[in-house]
Structure 1
Amino acid sequence: MLAVAILAAGKGTRMKSDLPKVVHELGGRSLVKRVLDAATALSPKRRLIIVGYGQALVREALAAEPGLEFVEQAEQLGTGHAIQQLLEPLQGFTGDLVVLTGDTPLLTTQTIADLVATHRDRHAAATVLTALLPDPTGYGRVFCDRNNQIECIIEHRDCTDAQRQNQRVSAGVYCFKWPELAEILPKLSNNNDQKEYYLTEVFNYLSPVFAQDVEDYEESFGINSRVQLAHAYEVLQSRIRDKWMRLGVTMNLPDTITIDDTVELEPNVIIEPQTHLRGYTKIKSGSVIGPGSLIENSTIAENCRVLYATVEDSQIGAGCRVGPYTHISKESIVGDRCRVGNFVELKKTRMGENTNAAHLSYLGDATLGNRVNIGAGTVTANYDGFNKHPTVIGDRSKTGANSVLVAPIQIGKNVNIASGSVVTTNVEDNALAIARARETIKPDYYDEDGRKKVK
């Protein structure tokens, strides 16, 4: 059996924030959610979150996760004190306990699995995840024998010059035989400058204790400041971009592109510079996204071109052209082979196949049929100051430039709306709708200097 405990009780003063450190976001997910997701993939029997400072916000950040057990650390008196809070909830548990920190969001499921496997293969009382840092200055050094059994851990300030050449440090991630750890936890003392109970003191009593080196030392990075948060984002993005490029996605100037790790891309997608893909977005083969586009929680079908556009919570059909300077949002659905062009906004709108809105239009709460053409400057006036109202436009209908359709309204099939019309009533099929004042021309109205003549 396996249990996982995540330390999430600290404030994180160096973040300079009222938020608990672990609820700060990295790539669309909180730090603690990333750690939890990595651990949950191992299917542990128990998942315990140790909370303290700002615990309501931590609980809220994880509210969608079923089966979590929250354990309160009312006073934050060190990592050992935090794990002591598990003595009651884990009473009678006989399996292994993995201890993680909620501020190590780059840790992968594979690394945790390898730690547990090594721990069990070696029948260890405890196993410590360690990292070989290029520059371990300031970190305590972990010294092992040839079998990676830990002999001692020495703080940086107490190391000799020779000992400081050792690059192995603790990542603050552990696997314990819980019954043995539970027996030791009450023995921890706070005889130190901070008057805190350190979890590392248990290694004075447990044996054998082994080290497991993480393959990528950057996984061990903890987040204690905004600078470190930014660096973690760079590492995360590098991982994500490398993954997709290996799977057949082309990225031009990849360092300018950001992609959440919840995004799905198919081979032969091209991502142009300054493009950002967020949330649960899917881009299908043959599509070209960007430059300068933001796609969030949306699906882009095959062979689309999305240029300088924002698409949020919407679906774009195959073979569409979107942009430049287009905004599509609020669960809009665009059919196959459509054109949504320059400075066009769609909000909560459905477009049928082969329908075009090429220029300077706003379509809100609208349903458009197939082969509809929206003239430049067309607006669906969907809001009466209190409520939103729908507009329906039938197949093969056209609106002239600068048309306004005042909702609620239904425009039939094969209708032509004359340019400059303000239409307020339903229009039947096959009609021409003209709703504008008769043009008036007054000749000889001004003199040669442009002044109005006196009549």
Structure 2
Amino acid sequence: MYKCALILAAGKGTRMKSKLPKVAHKVCGKEMVNHVVDNLRKAGIEDVNVVVGNEAKIVKEITKERNVYYSLQEEQLGTGHAVLCAKEFLENKDGVVAIFTGDAPLITNETVESLIEYHINGKYDATILTSIIDTPFGYGRIVRNSEGKVEKIVEHKDCTDEELSVKEINSGMYCFDIAILMDKLHKIKNNNSQGEYYLPDVIEIIKNENGSIGAVDVSFDEIIGVNSRVQLAEAEMKMRERINKEHMDNGVTIIDPNGTYINADVIIGEDVIIYPGNVIEGKTIIEQDIVLYPNNRIYQSVIESGVTIQSSVILESRIGENTTVGPFAYIRPESNIGKNARIGDFVEIKKSSIGNGTKVSHLTYIGDAEVGEDCNFGCGTVVVNYDGKKKHKTIIGDNVFVGCNTNLVAPVEVEENSYIAAGSTITKKVPKESLAVARARQVVKEGWVKQKGLLK
């Protein structure tokens, strides 16, 4: 059977007090609407339509790589009106449509699958995702008849005293037969306290016309909507707990889950040990047998097996097998560190490749460089890559030894098996197997301090 989905993402979210539309705010590093899109795709739904409205340009920009369709709700007149705005997307389709909200990022692909499967197997015209909670204030209530079947959904503001006592709530997420939904949508009215067209009213219309209504009860954690910064923080906490548990179930040691921040798209292999204070972001891949000591930030990078990292920042780069990084190293974007290398304390690497076995142990800057294998950089080395107008490249061959306090002024090349004396400023090519010395000869003038009257 054909399956598609709508995501309602047109609201402004005034309680967020933000220039961004509500659904663009991130939970564990990913925009809320993209959490929903990705889980729909994991559930096997390819055709996804996002109903946009407030700041539509921003919502389209953050979802453009997801290959979704869009419908525009120019004026926000309720959820029923939002679905009507997707009429062109739904027309001439035969099957089911799942409807979700873009501000409920905690929904899982398993729940999406269960909702659709329950709807299809039960041959329902409409199926509601519900939850039972002790304090249902603010939520629409599920009203059932004496036989336990769903009669209607009543918005909180329109509930009678008896209906307010009901603890089963509407999540705002549904599955409909497409043809039935399109037929009934035109019958809803806006005679309510908000003057809006409510999608839940379709449920009562279907019921009154002898249609069948199903309901699937799920954990409240999955259907929580985010309407404020406080609720955003709560969703972040729940998502982070879920992500960390999944990694631990897969063989990762997280010493303090409450102090570890792993984004939704991160992949981590077995026998990785993560200490508190680590922040792992983007589509980072952490392979096996890695130790992340406290307080690292790793973004959009690949960390190969056997690496150890301490108190460092790694951005959009690759770290090779069995390399050690830090403490206090800064690996900037487009860097590639080889295997069995050493990037030590207060070392900055920028847009450079570092060969296997090379050691850059401390207090060194390497920018826009190609460095070969088994090199050694002394303390205080600087690759001078910027002349005030342009960045220039430095090429260093294999087995090069660079003495302390050396400046390599790009563009420059140091060929393999060369030595550079400490304190040198290198501006010309160093041939292979050479010693380069670029400093003034030392001069000692005895008695000079006394002669100048500077003796204390």
**Structure-1-length-normalised TM-score:** 0.95
Would you say the 8 A contact 1:294–1:309 is kept in 2?
yes
- Alpha-carbon deviation of 1:297? 1.2
Which residue number corresponds to residue 29 of structure 2?
Answer: 28
Percent of aligned pairs sharing the same letter: 39
Would you say the 8 A contact 1:317–1:334 is kept in 2?
yes
Q: Distance in 2 between matches of 1:249 and 1:236?
A: 17
Q: Distance in 2 between matches of 1:266 and 1:45?
A: 29
2:51 equivalent to 1:50: yes
SS in structure 2 opposite 1:370? coil
Which residue number corresponds to residue 354 of structure 1?
Answer: 357
Q: Distance in 1 between matches of 2:199 and 2:159?
A: 20
Q: Distance in 1 between matches of 2:88 and 2:58?
A: 24
Would you say the 8 A contact 2:43–2:113 is kept in 1?
yes
- Alpha-carbon deviation of 1:103? 0.6
2:252 equivalent to 1:256: no
Which residue number corresponds to residue 343 of structure 2?
Answer: 340
> Could you list the runs of 5+ residues in structure 2 that have no partner in the other structure?
none
* Cα pair distance change 1:70/1:356, threshold 3 Å: same
Q: Distance in 2 between matches of 1:48 and 1:195?
A: 26
2:93 equivalent to 1:93: yes
Which residue number corresponds to residue 215 of structure 2?
Answer: 211
Which residue number corresponds to residue 376 of structure 1?
Answer: 379
* Cα pair distance change 1:115/1:146, threshold 3 Å: farther
Alignment-mate amino acid for residue 58 of structure 1: V
- Alpha-carbon deviation of 1:100? 0.9
Match runs of 1:291-440 below 5 Å: 291-440=294-443
Which residue number corresponds to residue 452 of structure 1?
Answer: 454
Which residue number corresponds to residue 149 of structure 1?
Answer: 149
> Could you list the runs of 5+ residues in structure 1 that have no partner in the other structure?
none
Q: Distance in 2 between matches of 1:332 and 1:53?
A: 39
- Alpha-carbon deviation of 1:40? 2.0
* Cα pair distance change 1:148/1:61, threshold 3 Å: farther
- Alpha-carbon deviation of 1:241? 0.6
- Alpha-carbon deviation of 1:146? 8.6
Alignment-mate amino acid for residue 48 of structure 1: N
Q: Distance in 2 between matches of 1:395 and 1:146?
A: 82
Which residue number corresponds to residue 12 of structure 1?
Answer: 13
Q: Deviations 1:74-103 (Å, cap 9, x if unpaired)?
A: 111111111112333322222111111111
SS in structure 2 opposite 1:89? helix
Q: Deviations 1:256-280 (Å, cap 9, x if unpaired)?
A: 1010121111111000110011111
Q: Distance in 1 between matches of 2:77 and 2:162?
A: 33
Residues matched between the structures, number: 450
Greater displacement, 69-78 / 165-174: 165-174
- Alpha-carbon deviation of 1:386? 1.8
Q: Distance in 1 between matches of 2:392 and 2:65?
A: 33
- Alpha-carbon deviation of 1:139? 2.2
SS in structure 1 opposite 2:66? coil
- Alpha-carbon deviation of 1:154? 4.1
Q: Deviations 1:301-345 (Å, cap 9, x if unpaired)?
A: 121110001111111111111100001122211111111001000
- Alpha-carbon deviation of 1:155? 4.5
SS in structure 1 opposite 2:6? strand
Q: Deviations 1:127-157 (Å, cap 9, x if unpaired)?
A: 0000122422332321346986313434546
SS in structure 1 opposite 2:88? coil
Q: Distance in 1 between matches of 2:147 and 2:335?
A: 60
Would you say the 8 A contact 1:149–1:208 is kept in 2?
no
